[in-house]
Copies of this chain bind each other. A is one copy, B any other.
Amino acid sequence: MKRADALRNEQALLAAAAAVFVTSGVDAPIRQIAAEAGVGMGTIYRHFPTRAELVVAVYRHQVEACAEAGPVLLASADSALAALRQWVDLFVDFLVTKHGLANVLQSDRVGTSALHTYFLDRLVPICAQLLDAAVSNGQVMPDTGAYELMRGIGNLCAGHDKDPRYEPRRLVELLIRGLERTTGH
Query: Chain A residues in contact with chain B, CB under 8 A?
Result: 100, 103, 106-109, 144-145, 147-149, 151-152, 155-156, 158-159, 161-163, 165-167, 170-171, 173-179, 182-185
Contacts and interface: CB of A to CB of B under 8 A. Distances in A.
A179 B180 CA distance: 12
B175 A174 contact: yes
A100, A152, A163, A175: which has the most chain B beta carbons within 10 Å? A152
Contacts of A182: 182-185
A123 to B, nearest CB: 15
Contact of A174 (B103, B144, B159, B165): B144
Contact of A183 (B103, B177, B184): B184
Given A147-B166, A174-B179, A175-B175, A158 B161 contact: no
A163 B120 CA distance: 13
A1 B90 CA distance: 59
Given A178-B173, A182-B184, A166 B100 contact: no
A148 B166 contact: yes
Contacts of A108: 100, 103, 159, 161-162
Contacts of A152: 156, 171, 174
15 contacts: A107-B162, A108-B159, A147-B166, A148-B170, A149-B171, A152-B156, A152-B171, A155-B155, A156-B156, A175-B178, A176-B178, A177-B177, A178-B179, A183-B184, A184-B184
Contacts of A183: 182, 184-185
A178 B172 CA distance: 9
Nearest to A105: B159
